[in-house]
Structures are given as C-alpha cells and as structure tokens.
Amino acid sequence: MNVSRTKVVQVDKDEPDERIIKEAGELIKAGGLVAFPTETVYGLGANAFDGRAAKKIYAAKGRPSDNPLIVHIASVAELERIAPRASERAMLLAQEYWPGPLTMILRKADIVPNEVTGGLETVAVRLPKHEVARRFIAASGGYVAAPSANLSGRPSPTKAAHVVEDLFGRVDMIIDAGEADIGLESTIVDLTTDIPAILRPGYITTDQIRRIAGEAAEGFRAIGADGGAVPKAPGMKYRHYAPKGEMTLVEGDAKKVAEFINGAIAKKTRLGESAAVLCSEENKALYEEAYALPLGSLKDDDEIAFHLFGALRAMDEKGVCHIYSETFDTKRIGAAIMNRLLKAAGNRVVQV
C-alpha cells in the first residue's frame, strides 16, 4: 500500500466546505481513494473509468476481485454514458427513487472497465441522496466506483470512526459528515432479467419496487439445491457483516426467547466466555442489564436498522465470544434487518 497517510476531514452534512470537496475530487481524478458519506453507509470511492484506481479499492479492503463495485453518479443524465440502453422500467424507478437508497443493475457500456464490474456485462448504478456524496461525485468527474468503506467481511461503516478503524493508512482521504441516515446498504434491483429481481433488500421495499415496475421477484430469498441461498449479487455469497464472536439468532415467543438466551449466557459465562444479546428496547428488561444491547423500539424499525452495524462492531470491540440476537418482523426495512442479521450469524437460527 503506498498510502502512508490518510487525511481525515470534517464537513457539514448539508453545506460542506467547497474547498474540501474540490480537494477530494482532485484526489479521485488523480487515481486516489476517498471514503465519503452517503445516506445508507460510508463508501470507498475511486474514479469509475480508471481500472487501476478500482484495483486499489480491492487491495485496501481485502475484497475478492470478482465482487463488483457500484458506480455512483450525481444526476440521472449521467446514466447515458455507462448504461445507455436502460429500459423504460429502469427509468421509471430512477425517476421515483433517485436520488436515494436504490442501486440498479443494468447492461453496461464498453467504457466501464472490467475491474469495476468484476468482468460482468452489467454495471450497478446508484444516485445517492446525501448532499456531500453528490457534491463529491460531481467534483470527481461524475462517476465514482464505490463499495462500502469497511474491510472485507466487517459490518459496513455507518460513521467515519468506523472507516478510520478499518481503512486508516490505506486510503488518501476520509470525509467525515457524521452518521449515515439509514445505516443499512441500498436495495439492489437487477433490471437485466425479464422480471426485476431484488438481489439485496434495503430501505426501498419490494412493494415499492412493484408499485413502479409492475412486478419484482425477491431474488435474495432464492434457495439452492443444497438448501443454501443462491446469490445473484456476487458479493452476497461472501461471509458478511460478521462479528468476530459466534452469533446465533433465536426465534419464537419473546419470553421463551429470553429464557433460552438467558440460559445460554449463564452457561457461557460459567465457562468464563463472554456473551451478550441484541434485543429490542421493549424486551431488554427480560435480560440482565450487563448483557443486553438494545437496538431500538419494535415500533420503529428504522431505529433498529440505524443501530445494527454499530452494535455488531461494538461486540467486536468488547471482545464478546457469543452473541445472541432476537429476530425481527420482516415488514418494510425489517426484511433488510433480518437479511443482514442472518448473514452476520452465518444463518444460524434456533427456534424455541
């Protein structure tokens, strides 16, 4: 890695200092790496037309090179250059949900390098809503390839401190604009198939996609012959969001769940192994205070989504060996919450 020093700069979320945005844009144009805030999670950006710069992203993150990057743009008109044959459906979705937490998979133009798409004929495109992201993308020339700004396998960063933890010394600049609004990555919808397929659930729900596109399949629920999920988004096959401790989801009636988890925690602590439980605000009284980490109220799934990745990182920081979690309703953003929890737990679920 030839980046020995990383510049960390703070900017206002709504009115960032134009000089800093310009400096960040120049770094991207020169082939550098800049981490930046979006409304979902922080991204690690490089010039999307520069294959060598894209390669640096994989090196900095320790990311497998077959896992493609999302190209971030700052206006719908910029779609033309990288995905000129976008369908009418795609344009309707763009009109409705861009700028915002939606990524579309489209047929790519030749100009998009293989290093960005992992050799695929398609490209993932997103137009973020975050003001800092949009100004930064525009200052960078309009096309920024960016995965989430975490080390490969760790939870996505929802604030700059997470990026510093993972990537300090590995990137040129980190733009700090406080916490991301949503805290979970964008919904990914594949528009290259007959029926639009949702490859990763997010803040924009399946129903919202169906309302505009007419139909949509939940591709992320596909089950393979071996009982495992068949990932269409290459990145979804890797172990993700995984805390260092062993994680188990416990599903069932709240009281029974708490009984099971309390029993398991007692057993582990007797063995001298640390344990903790991720739970709802409503259920936290069912657990001993020392072990419970409430994510938010069951009445506010946005709050649970917002706290999830930070909580997984906190488990690592405290060196927790055994992490238990309640499961959550899959309505609205709940589908995305459960998708990330299942990945973090390597699909380990106990029914009680």
Helix runs in the chain, H state only: 18-29, 51-61, 79-82, 88-97, 114-117, 131-139, 160-167, 206-213, 254-270, 301-317, 334-344
User: Residue 322 or residue 340: which is nearer to ligand TXA going by CB?
Assistant: 340
The residue type found at 204 is I
124 lies in the site for ligand TXA, by CB under 6 A: yes
In the bound state with ligand TXA, the residue whose beta carbon lies nearer, of 96 and 273, is 96
Q: Tell me the closest approach of the beta carbon of residue 240 to Mg ion, in angstroms.
A: 7
* 86, 146, 304, 338: which one binds ligand TXA (CB under 6 A): 146
Closest to ligand TXA by CB, 32 or 202:
202
Considering beta carbons, is residue 131 or 326 the nearer one to ligand TXA? 131
- Choices 13-21, 145-153, 243-251, 300-308 (CB under 5 A): range interacting with Mg ion: 145-153
DSSP 178: S
Q: 112 and 47 in contact (C-beta within 8 Å)?
A: no
Nearest Cα neighbor of 54 from 36, 33, 73 is 33
Distance CA 334, CA 332 (A): 5
Nearest distance from residue 130's CB to Mg ion, in Å? 17
Residue 67 touching ligand TXA (CB under 6 A): yes
Q: How far apart are CA 157 and CA 137, in angstroms?
A: 19
- Which residues does 172 contact at the CB level (< 8 Å), separation at least 6? 3, 6, 7, 27, 32, 33, 34
Residues 146-175 that bind Mg ion (CB under 5 A): 148
Taking the complex as a whole, the smallest distance from the CB of residue 61 to Mg ion amounts, in Å, to 8
Closer residue to Mg ion (CB): 148 or 205: 148
Nearer residue to ligand TXA within complex by CB, 200 or 268: 200
For the segment 78-117, give every residue that binds ligand TXA (CB under 6 A). 103, 105, 117
Closest of 104, 287, 277 to residue 198, by C-alpha: 104
CB 35 within 8 A of CB 174: yes
- In the window 34-63, what residues touch ligand TXA (CB under 6 A)? 38, 40-41, 43
Are 209 and 187 spatial neighbours (Cβ–Cβ below 8 Å)?
Answer: yes
To Mg ion, the closest distance from the beta carbon of 163 in angstroms equals 12
Q: Can you give the binding site for ligand TXA, defined by CB under 6 A?
A: 38, 40-41, 43, 67-70, 103, 105, 117, 120, 122-124, 126, 146-148, 185-186, 188, 199, 233-236
